[in-house]
Amino acid sequence: MIGAITLLLGCQLLGELFIAATGLPLPGPVVGMVILFVGLLIHGKVPGDVAAVSDTLLRNLSLLFIPAGVGVMLHLALIEREWLGVTAALIGSSAITVVVTAFLMIGLKKFTRAGGEG
C-alpha cells in the first residue's frame, strides 16, 4: 500500500516538476494524472495496490473539497464584488464541459462501433 501511495504522489510530483520546468499553464496534478495514465497503459493493467488506494481516495473525495469551501468562505467579499465574472466563468465552463463530453461520447460510440465490426 505504501508503494501505491508513493507511486501516486510520485506521479503528482513529476507533473509539478514538469510544469515548473516548462512553464505550461496547466495544473501539475493533471499532468501527473496523464503520466500515471500513460504508465498504466504501458503496464497494461492497474495493479491491485494502486486500485485499492485509488478506491479509498475516491470514497473519501468529499473531504478534499473542504479546503476549497474554506477558500470560498474566506474570499466571499471578493466573490460578491466579482459575482458577474464568477457566474459567467461557472456557466461558460459548465457549458464547454457538456459540449466536449457530448462530442467525445459521439466519437467514442463511432469508434467502438467501427472496432466491433472489423
The count of other CB atoms within 10 Å of the CB of residue 11 is 21
Q: What is the SS3 assignment for 105? A: helix
Query: pLDDT tens for residues 75-116?
Result: 999 999 999 999 999 999 999 999 999 999 999 998 888 766
113 with 69, same domain: the answer is yes
- Total of domains in the chain: 2
Instruction: State residue 84's pLDDT score.
Output: 96
Choosing from 43, 59, 75, the residue where a domain stops is 59
53 with 82, same domain: the answer is no
Q: What angle do CA 108, 29, 80 make, to 5 degrees?
A: 95
77 with 24, same domain: the answer is no
pLDDT band at residue 9 under the 50/70/90 scheme: very high
45 with 69, same domain: the answer is no
9 with 47, same domain: the answer is yes
The whole domain housing 76 covers 65-118
75 with 47, same domain: the answer is no
Choosing from 38, 59, 80, the residue where a domain stops is 59
Residue percentage of the chain with pLDDT more than 70 = 97
pLDDT band at residue 64 under the 50/70/90 scheme: confident
48 with 91, same domain: the answer is no
